[in-house]
Amino acid sequence: MARILITGSSDGLGSLAAQALVKRGHTVYLHARSEQRAKDAQKACPGAESVFIADLSKPDETRKMAEDANKVGAFDCVIHNAGLYHGAYRKTAWGLPSLTMVNSVAPYVLASLMRKPKRIVFVSSGLHNSGDASLKDWTWRLRGERAFSDHQAYCDSKLHDVLLALGFARRWPDVESNSLSPGWVATKMGGMSARDDINKAVDTYVMLAEGCGKSGKFFKSSQEVRYMKAADDVKLQDKFFEELQELSRVKAPKDADTSSEL
């Protein structure tokens, strides 16, 4: 059985996937942004091993979570599920909107600082196809709060998740690194009018957590599907990683168990 960490697992798909994996005999660690949310997470998934608490919009808490996770040991799989969909700019310590910090930067920082897992999953969306592949001002620090669009920022961040999956797949050839689209499902984020099958979304989480034998792929309903062609551009992937390194001062490891800071 595997040791699995799922970020953003106090409710929604993260919680449902955790419950499904616990039922299959895996040791599952949850994550929540606050003490109260941690209690919610444990109540929803009482079979989970433990809950990490960290507000991923805050750099110091994100780093601390990586440190705490490393004390547990290496995970067989880490699912980067935490994400924001709507909301105001809410400037973070690095000047980014909270949405961009949680969806785009935190997964990179956690993946780079934590011990290398056997499998890593980045939760994207079909909306990544509307993301800006130029990476021009992806941090929104130039355009600022007045010009901020949470919808565009979300689409951009889901493209970033695909780039992260592909970039880590190249850097870690011995790790299954993939991304997925859960589809439009009836969660707090998706709304009750969503039409896609939530069970198929959970099945996709489970499949990738347990291993699919592929890396650098994009999945929906447990099937490999195409993603934005521009994401295959190695120069684009490297540019994104370089800018993440410069922003966070955390260097992505190439083929090592732990990362080093710049």
What pLDDT does 169 receive?
97
Catalytic pick among 108, 154, 205, 227: 154
- Residues 213 and 176: their CA atoms lie apart, in Å, by 7
What pLDDT does 183 receive?
79
| Residue 196, amino acid | D
Does 258 score more than 80 pLDDT? no
Pick from 3, 7, 34: which is nearest to 21 by CA?
3
- Stated pTM of the model: 0.94
Range in 111-125, 171-185, 223-237 with the lowest mean pLDDT = 171-185
* Assigned fold of 3-261: Rossmann fold (3.40.50)
Catalytic pick among 58, 116, 158, 220: 158
- Residues 48 and 219: their CA atoms lie apart, in Å, by 26
Pick from 198, 234, 202: which is nearest to 216 by CA?
234
How do 250-251 and 260-261 pair as beta strands?
A: antiparallel
Give catalytic status of residue 108 as yes or no.
no
Q: How confident is the model at residue 261 (pLDDT cuts 50, 70, 90)?
A: very low
Give catalytic status of residue 154 as yes or no.
yes
Going from N- to C-terminal start, the domains of the chain cover 3-261
